[in-house]
Chain A
Amino acid sequence: AQSVAQPEDQVNVAEGNPLTVKCTYSVSGNPYLFWYVQYPNRGLQFLLKYITGDNLVKGSYGFEAEFNKSQTSFHLKKPSALVSDSALYFCAVRDGSSNTGKLIFGQGTTLQVKP
């Protein structure tokens, strides 16, 4: 069975400091990994994905994520946080070995960036 864990309900960081939002996954086939962000009363906005290749993937708004196969992790990072980055972040996994678009989401992590 596929699953995603985001161990932190909330991450607090000061503006200008680096941020990390953690994600670990479990999937039987090839993991396709995604990060989404949700602002209040909005849908989910795609940030970045890992399918294959370089373990460090870069996405929108200066975000990047590092895929670690041995630790089954896909942590989201940003070198310098902005107050406007404050939102709810979701990690998601898809079994790349199956012909389905079904995404399994983590429970979400609230990022709070303080000025």
Chain B
Amino acid sequence: KAGVTQTPRYLIKTRGQQVTLSCSPISGHRSVSWYQQTPGQGLQFLFEYFSETQRNKGNFPGRFSGRQFSNSRSEMNVSTLELGDSALYLCASSLAAATGLSSYEQYFGPGTRLTVT
């Protein structure tokens, strides 16, 4: 099976612009989560989607949003970019269940490196 794919791999944007990142999960995986990785804050959870519904959201401002499509592919959008949004954005997919307890591990993509100037 192909792994999690993320596009683009690298992106340079200017402050005030907006950006959309894309994630294609492993075939059959219905749960997609997004994380932000920075040297100062480490890995922080952004949000999780399951069957096109946001199931959980981290402590990020409303400028960060996401969505999931019927084929489980997901996008995240950051509007009004700030210098502090420069980070590696990681997408992860898993065989999470619709209800009940999920013990499945998450598989990560290579990430999108966003640089805001």
| A, B assembled together | yes
Binds B, one of A19-27, A42-50, A65-73, A78-86: A42-50
Say yes or no for B70: interface residue by CB 8 A criterion: no
What chain A residues lie within 8 Å of B33 (beta carbons)? 101-103
CB-based contact B105/A99 at 8 Å: no
Contact with B along A39-61 (1 / 0, CB 8 A): 00111111001010000000000
Across-interface contacts of B81 in A (CB, < 8 A): none
**Contact at B55–A105, with CB atoms within 8 Å?**
no
Q: Is the CB of B105 within 8 A of A102?
A: no
| A32-B103, A46-B106, A99-B102 given; A105·B56 CB < 8 A | no
Q: How large is the interface on A (under 10, 10 to 19, 20 to 34, 35 or more residues)?
A: 20 to 34
**Which residues on A sit within 8 Å (CB–CB) of B92?**
44
Query: Does B76 lie at the interface of the complex (its beta carbon under 8 Å from any beta carbon of A)?
Result: no
Measured CB to CB, the nearest residue on chain A to B43 is A105
**Do A103 and B106 touch across chains, with their CB atoms under 8 A apart?**
yes
User: Quick one: closest A residue to B90, CB to CB?
Assistant: A43
Give every chain B residue within 8 A of A42 (Cβ-Cβ).
110-111
A92 to B37, CA, bound (A): 14
A105 to B46, CA, bound (A): 13
Q: Is A74 part of the binding interface, using a Cβ–Cβ cutoff of 8 Å? A: no
Chain A residues at the B interface, C-beta cutoff of 8 Å: 30, 32, 34, 36, 41-46, 49, 51, 90, 92, 94, 96-97, 99-108
A-B contact pairs, 9 of them (CB 8 A): A43-B90, A43-B108, A49-B105, A97-B101, A99-B100, A100-B56, A101-B50, A101-B96, A102-B58
B residues apposed to A, CB below 8 Å: 4, 6, 31, 33, 35, 42-45, 48, 50, 55-56, 58, 90, 92, 94, 96, 99-111
